[in-house]
Amino acid sequence: MSSQSVSDGGSKRALVIILAIVAVIALVLGILWLTGSAPSFLNSGSHVKNGNHLLRGSVGLVIAVACGVGAWWTNKKS
């Protein structure tokens, strides 16, 4: 076994963990925006102050699904 294959496994595992964490955070934020209960600090500096946050919530859910699938695919590949 070469040292390159060992280091590739570590970077692959790190990528899976990072993608999974981003997926969970995006899922939570997407749900918060869709339900309208997002904290005010998430809207600071935004042009959308008191409006509908369906777009942000939808994008958050799409990012969560994409990162979740990416983590699964990366973990599945050998």
Number of domains within the chain: 1
| Alpha carbons 42 and 61: distance in angstroms, whole number | 16
Which helix (H) or strand (E) segment holds residue 64: the answer is helix 54-76
- Nearest CA to 26 out of 74, 71, 67 is that of 67
pLDDT of residue 27: 96
Identify the domain containing residue 56 by its residue range.
10-42+49-76
pLDDT of residue 65: 97
Q: What is the pLDDT along the chain (78 residues), one digit of tens a residue?
A: 444 555 567 888 999 999 999 999 999 999 998 888 877 777 666 665 555 578 888 999 999 999 999 999 999 875
pLDDT for 2 equals: 45
Is residue 4 domain-resident? no
Residue 16 covered by a domain: yes
Name the pTM for this structure: 0.76
